[in-house]
């Protein structure tokens, strides 16, 4: 209730439940006396109406130069970073203690206690060495918990570093220069420069605002954009109280249009959104905790991690049931501890069963997943991809459709003017890049046209409607290069203007009195500048007598031409623009567009006075825009080329081979879009452009969008959408998702945020993208390159495949552990491993190779595989069969080695009841267990290499994973230390590697050899099943043939019929075991 009151009433006082926990108020320079005692809301109300010069003096800043770097650093040190309070990061000690509360660790501790109880009740209770098993288990518990805590801490550090790389930046004035700084470093007194797409970094008092609107939905819940002004207005009698002051912009609100500057008055927790967060924290109490009062970090887990945790828990329950069965069998058959035959059988079987349960539960899976995902996110940085949400790494492997912008993503984003239509004549613009000293403007007959009236008038009027500048700057190599600053679509205009002799500062000779920025809804930009004289410039078009102002519109040709009623002629005269003239000019536009050129139209309107009352502050920017864009005169067209990026055509082909459909969504003209799509291989020569490319106007023929089923028909086959509005992107994504596809969507503007948020993978542009778009995205392309998306998909698939491999490896090993112990108990032979040996194997043999498998490089054909369905489980049915087969193979070879060892060392006896009657049976049995132990370690090391691929043989690129070599070397060192080190091997682990002789080592070698032969044979079955699975996915992607259906409002449109969703057939095993796995 208090939060709602606060949102609705900006003067609402906040009464905190515990004032002692409130952070100290932010200190402000120059705040004295009673003013310092005002509530934060009253203070902001005062800041909203205080004269801006007085406010600047109060904060000791300069409105034109901003703070000095030194002063800003001092304020940052005093007030702290500009960010909301976050819960403290768990320390390494806290993470370690949290590990001790996990289910698996509790089982280990129960095992240790059980071991101590078994030995404490036996005849060797007074021998300290009899407790080595329990002590060793305790040490292993600490080591395991330490490794898990350290790994989780490192993973957290890596992800925190990634989050800092995606931190929002903002432009501020420091030392009189406009510089970009990280939002947390913004301080009170900073002068912030704001533009469309920025997110307000702190609470600001505006002192410049042009068509400035913000979305305050995050603050007030109001859906409509709120207009802001720098002018303090008196409140009219009877007017309702506004939710926020008009002269204030608040932290966290996105700027939807316009430009402005503001003085920072509050940062961090002192902002309005900060105080709301403080109130919520006060009401919500402490952070969520577990039953052991530790922080609950489950909310940070990805869906994959949560599903694997559930899988592990279910398998654990199943393993416990099996272990209870083993306990009952062992108890009924009177299986006793070989080292303490006088102890009760039930005590020994408790120890064996609990330890077996620990061995059966795949406790290493969550740890390996965390490592794989965090390392994968870090690796993606090298491929120009910053992952903002770790769950996106999982979703990348399912991406089946990539919806991409054109400009800057598929193309270079470096526009170069190559053609011009001015005053009825067509010109060619020569030169390349941004160097105005190279090239010129040529008439159709090849003569120089730089001095033509139409050329100068066209380019000058265009310059008056630009905010881009051109200057020489040093690049990273220290070479001076011409570099534009501003909008990429305006750069070719500025360069061409310099080519015809227009000076660098010519726009300053025409003071601008109004600017209406380009927006996706207006499709144009408008400016009004003061002019004088009889001509626009020396050699420019004549101006009517009494002209004092010139309105200029620059934008999409079809929109601009519709607003024009007259046109400039080559002799400087003005003629009426007829419908036939418009049709002929649009044919010129079509000709440019067919060459993949981006076309802008330039129109102007000479005015003797402004068509609105400049002194009336109640007139909105939209009203001024409507008044000024009437009775326009078409000056000309400018046509620029934006060449496709290197590598994009190949990446599109690679994506198609991976079963990913690439869709281009652009605001460009249809013919331009088609030409570019053909250049980058989105459209193939055999494609019918009538079904593969479409103007987005056909999606909303009567102003309303088509019905969902009609929309789905279009999006199923169309790969190019032209003249798209941001809301069209949202509808296209929804349609793709309705068809069960997984969509990745790129975007850079404010209005792209809903589509980015709706998409399964929102991809923002790092260079041209606005902070709003980045905030709504799952990942950011630091180079704005489409190739990076395809590389990210490949990396995402590799990470997911690596997780599948180590899950299959771990599960097959645990299945084998359970099978081996179960056979020993049921058949009546001595248990081949002690509890301590089992725990040693889990720590040494399983974990390092599993982590290495999680970092397995992607297979060469991974981009030739079909995208996996979004809801597909991590472990497929054919993988379950492979795990069971490999677990059985491991069991057969190790049990065979163990039986031969028993026969060799125990005088031909294999049953426990007979072996216990032999002299020195403990030593004899220990030798046989040692051979089986060595054989198992070698076999599992071989299995680790075999598990690097489900289909390729082990020798294929055998050294391709350097992490695997390190893991195996580590496992081998630990093995020989365990079996050859006196006292450790015989007295603690119960192993006798120095006594098994040559026969024992050779026999142990039979295990990995047999495992290699049988596992590779099983891989033939797995490869066949994997191919069948891929074939089924390919068939599911192929729509059935159907009669085309025409879409309302589209000319000669064709489209495929909807694809019926086929029910997935399940085998008996999936039906029976689906509830468990």
State how far the Cα of 761 lies from the Cα of 777, in Å rounded to an integer.
Answer: 7
Question: Which stretch of DSSP H or E encloses residue 999?
Answer: helix 997-1037
**Overall average pLDDT of the 770-777 stretch:** 74
State how far the Cα of 515 lies from the Cα of 464, in Å rounded to an integer.
Answer: 10
Name the range with the highest mean pLDDT among 133-137, 388-392, 1014-1018. 1014-1018
**pLDDT tens digits along 550-574:** 999 999 898 999 999 999 999 889 9
More reliable by pLDDT, 895 or 118: 895
- The CA-atom distances, in angstroms, between 716 and each of 40, 591, 707, 754, 808 are 54, 29, 14, 21, 36
**pLDDT tens digits along 805-830:** 888 888 888 888 888 888 888 888 88
State how far the Cα of 959 lies from the Cα of 68, in Å rounded to an integer.
Answer: 56
DSSP code per residue over 103-136: HHHHHHHHHHHHHHHHHHTSTTTT-GGGGHHHHH
Q: What is the pTM of this model?
A: 0.68
- Write down the pLDDT at residue 103: 65
Q: Percentage of residues in the chain with pLDDT exceeding 70?
A: 79
User: Do residues 377 and 162 make contact, with C-beta atoms less than 8 angstroms apart?
Assistant: yes
pLDDT of 865 higher than 70: yes
CB-based contacts of 123, cutoff 8 Å, min separation 6? 340, 342
More reliable by pLDDT, 1074 or 461: 461
More reliable by pLDDT, 145 or 59: 59
How many CB atoms sit inside 10 A of residue 908's CB? Answer: 9
Question: Which stretch of DSSP H or E encloses residue 261?
Answer: strand 254-266
**pLDDT tens digits along 691-723:** 899 999 899 888 889 999 999 999 988 999 988
Burial 625-652 (b: 16+ CB within 10 A, else e): bebbbeebbbbbbbbbbbbbbeebbebb
Which DSSP category does 242 fall into?
P
User: Do residues 7 and 284 make contact, with C-beta atoms less than 8 angstroms apart?
Assistant: no
CB-based contacts of 818, cutoff 8 Å, min separation 6? 319, 322, 356, 359, 360
How many CB atoms sit inside 10 A of residue 382's CB? Answer: 9
**pLDDT tens digits along 594-633:** 888 889 999 999 999 999 988 887 788 888 999 999 899 9
pLDDT of 109 higher than 80: no
What is the phi-psi region of residue 423: left when phi exceeds 0, alpha when psi lies from -120 to 50, beta otherwise?
A: left
| Residues of the chain by 3-state class (helix, strand, coil), percent to 5 | 50, 15, 35
User: Rounded to a whole number, what is the largest CA-CA distance in the chain?
Assistant: 124
* Poorest-pLDDT segment among 233-237, 494-498, 572-576: 233-237
Q: Give bridge partners of residue 191 from the DSSP assignment.
A: 173, 263
Q: Which two tokens stand for residue 312?
A: 């592990």
Q: Which residue has the tokens 């998702």?
A: 737
State how far the Cα of 155 lies from the Cα of 303, in Å rounded to an integer.
Answer: 17
pLDDT of 734 higher than 80: yes
pLDDT of 645 higher than 60: yes
Instruction: Please name which of 505, 495, 507, 504 lies closest in space to residue 440, comparing C-alpha atoms.
Output: 495
Question: Which stretch of DSSP H or E encloses residue 773?
Answer: helix 771-776
**36 pLDDT band (50/70/90 cuts)?**
very low
Helix (H, G, I), strand (E, B) or coil at 734: helix
Average pLDDT value for the chain: 79
Q: Give bridge partners of residue 639 from the DSSP assignment.
A: 419, 599
- Write down the pLDDT at residue 460: 94
- The CA-atom distances, in angstroms, between 930 and each of 291, 358, 902, 979 are 42, 21, 11, 7
**Overall average pLDDT of the 1029-1048 stretch:** 54
User: Do residues 775 and 168 make contact, with C-beta atoms less than 8 angstroms apart?
Assistant: yes
**584 pLDDT band (50/70/90 cuts)?**
very high
More reliable by pLDDT, 719 or 323: 719
User: Do residues 681 and 787 make contact, with C-beta atoms less than 8 angstroms apart?
Assistant: no
- Write down the pLDDT at residue 1048: 37
State how far the Cα of 407 lies from the Cα of 489, in Å rounded to an integer.
Answer: 9
Label residue 1009 exposed, middle or buried (CB < 10 Å: 0-12, 13-18, 19+). middle
DSSP code per residue over 333-360: TT--BTTBTTS-HHHHHHHHHHHHHHHH
- Write down the pLDDT at residue 164: 59
CB-based contacts of 332, cutoff 8 Å, min separation 6? none
Question: Which stretch of DSSP H or E encloses residue 620?
Answer: none
Q: Which residue has the tokens 């004289």?
A: 533
**159 pLDDT band (50/70/90 cuts)?**
low
**pLDDT tens digits along 246-298:** 889 988 888 877 888 999 999 888 888 777 666 655 544 445 555 555 555 55
Question: Phi and psi of 89, rounded to 5°?
Answer: -70, 135
DSSP code per residue over 462-495: HHTT---EEEEEE-TTS-EEEEEES-TTTHHHHH
Question: Which stretch of DSSP H or E encloses residue 610?
Answer: none
State how far the Cα of 196 lies from the Cα of 213, in Å rounded to an integer.
Answer: 9
Angle at 1063 between CA 1062 and CA 1064, to 5 degrees: 115
- Write down the pLDDT at residue 605: 94
User: Do residues 486 and 492 make contact, with C-beta atoms less than 8 angstroms apart?
Assistant: no
- Write down the pLDDT at residue 277: 66
Q: Which two tokens stand for residue 744?
A: 């990745």
State how far the Cα of 277 lies from the Cα of 964, in Å rounded to an integer.
Answer: 47
- Write down the pLDDT at residue 292: 53
């Amino acid at each position: 209730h208090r939060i709602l009151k606060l949102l609705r009433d900006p003067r609402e006082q906040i009464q905190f439940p515990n004032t002692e926990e409130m952070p100290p108020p932010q200190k402000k320079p120059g705040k004295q006396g009673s003013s310092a005692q005002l509530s934060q809301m009253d203070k902001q109300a005062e800041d909203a109406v205080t004269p801006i010069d007085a406010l600047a003096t109060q904060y000791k800043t300069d409105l034109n130069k901003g703070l000095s770097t030194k002063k800003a650093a001092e304020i940052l040190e005093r007030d702290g970073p500009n960010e909301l309070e976050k819960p403290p990061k768990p320390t390494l000690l806290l993470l370690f203690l949290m590990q001790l509360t996990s289910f698996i660790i509790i089982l280990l501790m129960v095992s240790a206690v059980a071991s101590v109880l078994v030995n404490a009740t036996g005849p060797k209770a007074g021998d300290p060495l009899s407790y080595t098993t329990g002590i060793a288990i305790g040490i292993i518990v600490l080591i395991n918990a330490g490794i898990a805590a350290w790994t989780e801490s490192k993973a957290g550090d890596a992800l925190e570093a990634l989050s800092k790389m995606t931190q929002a930046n903002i432009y501020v004035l420091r030392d009189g220069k406009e510089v970009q700084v990280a939002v947390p470093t913004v301080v009170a007194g900073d002068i912030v420069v704001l533009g469309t797409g920025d997110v307000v970094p702190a609470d600001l008092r505006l002192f410049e605002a042009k068509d400035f609107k913000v979305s305050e939905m995050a603050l007030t819940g109001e859906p409509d954009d709120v207009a802001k002004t720098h002018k303090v207005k008196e409140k009219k009698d009877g007017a309702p109280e506004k939710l926020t002051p008009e002269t204030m912009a608040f932290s966290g609100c996105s700027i939807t249009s316009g430009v402005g500057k503001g003085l920072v008055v509050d940062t961090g927790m002192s902002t309005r959104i900060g105080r709301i967060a403080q109130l919520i924290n006060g009401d919500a109490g402490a952070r969520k905790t577990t039953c052991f009062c530790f922080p609950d970090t489950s909310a940070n887990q990805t869906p994959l991690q949560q599903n694997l945790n559930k899988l592990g828990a279910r398998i654990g329950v199943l393993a416990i049931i099996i272990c209870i069965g083993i306990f009952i069998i062992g108890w009924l058959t009177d299986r006793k501890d070989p080292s303490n035959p006088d102890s009760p059988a039930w005590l020994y079987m408790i120890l064996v069963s609990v330890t077996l349960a620990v061995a059966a539960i795949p406790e290493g899976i969550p740890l390996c997943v965390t490592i794989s995902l965090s390392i994968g996110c870090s690796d993606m940085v090298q491929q120009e991809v910053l992952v903002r949400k770790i769950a996106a790494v999982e979703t990348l492997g399912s991406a089946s459709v990539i919806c991409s912008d054109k400009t800057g993503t598929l193309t270079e984003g470096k526009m170069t003017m190559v053609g011009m239509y001015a005053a009825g004549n067509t010109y060619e613009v020569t030169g390349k890049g941004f160097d105005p000293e190279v090239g010129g403007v040529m008439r159709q007959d090849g003569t120089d046209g730089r001095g033509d009236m139409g050329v100068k008038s066209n380019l000058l009027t265009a310059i008056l409607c630009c905010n881009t500048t051109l200057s020489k700057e040093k690049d990273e190599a220290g070479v001076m290069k011409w570099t534009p600053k501003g909008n990429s679509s305006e750069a070719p205009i500025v360069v061409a203007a310099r080519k015809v002799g227009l000076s660098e500062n010519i726009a300053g000779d025409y003071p601008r009195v109004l600017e209406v920025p380009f927006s996706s809804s207006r499709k144009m930009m408008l400016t009004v500048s003061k002019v004088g004289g009889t001509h626009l410039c020396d050699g420019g078009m004549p101006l009517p007598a009494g002209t004092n102002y010139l309105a200029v519109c620059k934008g999409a040709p079809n929109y601009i031409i519709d607003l024009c009623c007259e046109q400039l002629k080559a002799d400087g005269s003005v003629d009426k623009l007829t419908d036939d003239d418009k049709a002929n000019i649009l044919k010129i536009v079509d000709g440019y567009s067919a060459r993949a050129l981006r076309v802008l139209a330039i129109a102007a309107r000479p005015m003797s006075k402004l068509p609105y009352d400049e002194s009336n502050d109640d007139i909105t920017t939209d009203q001024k825009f409507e008044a000024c864009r009437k009775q326009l005169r078409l000056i000309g067209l400018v046509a620029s080329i934006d060449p496709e990026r290197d590598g994009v055509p190949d990446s599109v082909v690679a994506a198609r081979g991976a079963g990913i459909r690439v869709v281009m969504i652009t605001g460009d003209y249809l013919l331009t879009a088609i030409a570019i799509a053909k250049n980058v291989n989105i459209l193939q020569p055999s494609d019918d452009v009538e079904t593969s490319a479409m103007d987005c106007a056909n999606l909303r023929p009567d102003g309303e969008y088509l019905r969902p089923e009609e929309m789905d028909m279009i999006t199923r086959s169309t790969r190019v959408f032209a003249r798209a509005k941001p809301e069209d992107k949202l509808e296209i994504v929804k349609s793709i998702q309705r068809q069960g596809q997984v969509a990745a969507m790129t975007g850079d503007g404010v209005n792209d945020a809903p589509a980015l948020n709706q998409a399964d993978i929102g991809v923002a542009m790092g260079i041209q993208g606005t902070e709003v778009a980045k905030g709504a995205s799952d990942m950011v392309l630091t180079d704005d390159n489409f190739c990076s998306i395809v590389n990210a998909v490949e990396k995402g698939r590799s990470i997911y495949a690596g997780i599948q491999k180590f899950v299959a490896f771990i599960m097959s090993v645990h299945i084998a552990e359970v099978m081996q112990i179960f056979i020993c108990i049921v058949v009546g032979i001595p248990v081949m491993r002690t509890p301590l040996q089992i725990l040693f194997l889990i720590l040494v043999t399983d974990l390092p190779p599993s982590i290495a498998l999680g970092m397995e490089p992607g297979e060469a054909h991974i981009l030739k595989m079909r995208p996996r369905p979004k809801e597909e489980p991590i472990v497929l049915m054919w993988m379950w069969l492979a795990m069971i087969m490999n677990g059985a193979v491991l069991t057969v070879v190790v049990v065979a080695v163990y039986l031969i060892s028993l026969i060799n060392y125990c005088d031909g006896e294999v049953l426990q009841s007979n072996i216990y009657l032999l002299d020195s049976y403990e030593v004899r049995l220990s030798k046989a267990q040692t051979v089986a132990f060595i054989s198992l370690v070698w076999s599992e090391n071989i299995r680790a290499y075999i598990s690097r691929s489900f289909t390729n043989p082990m020798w294929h690129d055998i050294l391709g994973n350097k992490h695997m070599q390190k893991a195996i070397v580590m496992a081998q060192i630990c093995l020989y230390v365990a079996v050859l080190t006196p006292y450790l091997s015989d007295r603690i682990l119960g192993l006798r590697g120095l006594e098994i002789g040559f026969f024992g080592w050779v026999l142990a070698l039979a295990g990995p050899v047999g495992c290699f032969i049988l596992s590779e044979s099983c891989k033939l079955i797995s490869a066949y099943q994997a191919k069948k699975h891929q074939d089924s996915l390919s068939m599911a992607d192929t729509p059935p043939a159907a009669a085309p259906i025409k879409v309302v409002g589209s000319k000669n449109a064709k489209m495929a019929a909807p694809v019926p969703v086929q029910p997935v057939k399940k085998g008996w095993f999936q039906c029976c075991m689906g509830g468990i796995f």
